[in-house]
C-alpha cells in the first residue's frame, strides 16, 4: 500500500463507506523561540481544518519532554496510545495524517503509527495547502478508538546503532547541508555530523509544491547516495522529525529505513561522541 495519498484520493476516501481517521499534525520548528511567538498548531487547527480531523500535538503526544535523549524523544506509549484512541484510531481503521505542507510532522505521526503496529496509515502528499475541499472550525468528537501501540523490534536506532550503521550500511543526515557541514548550528550545542553519515537534506525529496518527487526519481537520488537493495539504511536529523519525512520518502521509493529518533540533538549532547565537520562524511 502506498504510504502517501493525494488530495483527490483523500476526498474520495472520505466519501467512501470506510473513511479514514484524519490527524491534523500542524507544527513548525522554531529556531528562534526568544525572538517572537512560536508557531501555535492548535490555533491554526481552530482557524480551519479538514472536516473531521482531530488535532494532534507533536511536542506533547508524538514525543516525550526534551532531555538527554534529544528534543523529541520517543513518546510515552500510554500517552501516544491515548492520543490516538481519542482521535478515533482503531487497529482496523485507515488513518491519514496531514500538516501545514512541509510534511515533517505528518511523517512523524505516520512513522510512529507504523512502528507501533498500525497497518493502514498514509500522509496527505503536500499537506493542507493542496486540499481544495471545505474547511471547518468545529472540533469533532469521534468515537473512542481501540488502537494499542505495540513497538516493533526493528525500524528504530539508538546512538550506538546509528554509529554502527554509518560504518556498515548507509546513514543519511536529513538536515540542511550547512548544518551537516557544521557551518551553522542554530539549535544544538555543536555543529557537524555523525562520522560516516551522508548529507541528504529532506527538502530535496519534494518538489516546489511540497509534494514528493516520483518514486523512480527518488530511487535515483538515493542510489546516488549509495543506497542499494542490500544495504541497511538509517536516517537522522536534528530531533527525529524531518528524518521521519526522509524515511517516508524512502518508503515511497520502496526502500525500508530505520529512524534514529534522538538524532543530532541527542548525539551532540554527549561531548564524548565524535563529531565530523565539512563535506567529507568522515
Could you list the active site residues?
237
Q: What is the DSSP letter of 278?
A: S
C-alpha cell at 236: 537522522
Of the CA atoms within 13 Å of residue 110, those in its CB half-sphere come to 30
Per-residue DSSP letters for 115-175? HTT-S-EEEETT-GGG--S--B-SPP-PPP--------SSSEE-HHHHHHHHHHSEEEE-S
Helix (H, G, I), strand (E, B) or coil at 147: coil
Helix (H, G, I), strand (E, B) or coil at 131: coil
As a whole number of Å, the end-to-end CA separation of the chain is 37
139 and 24 in contact (C-beta within 8 Å)? no
Sequence-ordered alpha helix ranges (H) in the chain: 7-14, 41-47, 58-61, 77-86, 104-115, 159-168, 177-180, 215-224, 242-252, 263-267
Q: How far apart are CA 29 and CA 139, in angstroms?
A: 24
Residue 124, CA distances (Å) to 53, 177, 179, 187, 279 in order: 12, 26, 28, 29, 33
Opening angle at CA 186, ends 115 and 209, nearest 5:
60
Amino acid at each position: 500500500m502506498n504510504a502517501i495519498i493525494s488530495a483527490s484520493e483523500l476526498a474520495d476516501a472520505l466519501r467512501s463507506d470506510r473513511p479514514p481517521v484524519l490527524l491534523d499534525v500542524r507544527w513548525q520548528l522554531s529556531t528562534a523561540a526568544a525572538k517572537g511567538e512560536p508557531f501555535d498548531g492548535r490555533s491554526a487547527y481552530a482557524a480551519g481544518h479538514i472536516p473531521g480531523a482531530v488535532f494532534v500535538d507533536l511536542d506533547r503526544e508524538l514525543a516525550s519532554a526534551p532531555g538527554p535523549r534529544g528534543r523529541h524523544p520517543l513518546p510515552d506509549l500510554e500517552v501516544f496510545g491515548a492520543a490516538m484512541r481519542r482521535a478515533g484510531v482503531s487497529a482496523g481503521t485507515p488513518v491519514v495524517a496531514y500538516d501545514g505542507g512541509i510534511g515533517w510532522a505528518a511523517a512523524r505521526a505516520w512513522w510512529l503509527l507504523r512502528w507501533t503496529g498500525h497497518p493502514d496509515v498514509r500522509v496527505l502528499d503536500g499537506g493542507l495547502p493542496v486540499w481544495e475541499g471545505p474547511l471547518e472550525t468545529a472540533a469533532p468528537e469521534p468515537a473512542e478508538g481501540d488502537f494499542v501501540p505495540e513497538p516493533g523490534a526493528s525500524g528504530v536506532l539508538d546512538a550506538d546503532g546509528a554509529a554502527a550503521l554509518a560504518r556498515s550500511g548507509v546513514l543519511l543526515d536529513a538536515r540542511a547541508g550547512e548544518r551537516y557541514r557544521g557551518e551553522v548550528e542554530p539549535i544544538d550545542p555543536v555543529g557537524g555530523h555523525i562520522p560516516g553519515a551522508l548529507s541528504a537534506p529532506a527538502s530535496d525529496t519534494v518538489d516546489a509544491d511540497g509534494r514528493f518527487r516520483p518514486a523512480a526519481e527518488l530511487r535515483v537520488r538515493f542510489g546516488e547516495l549509495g543506497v542499494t537493495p542490500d544495504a541497511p539504511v538509517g536516517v537522522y536529523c536534528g530531533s527525529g522529525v524531518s528524518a521521519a519525512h526522509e524515511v517516508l520518502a524512502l518508503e515511497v521509493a520502496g526502500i525500508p529505513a530505520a529512524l534514529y529518533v534522538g538524532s543530532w540533538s541527542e548525539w551532540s549532547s554527549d561531548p564524548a561522541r565524535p563529531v565530523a565537520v565539512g563535506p567529507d562524511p568522515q
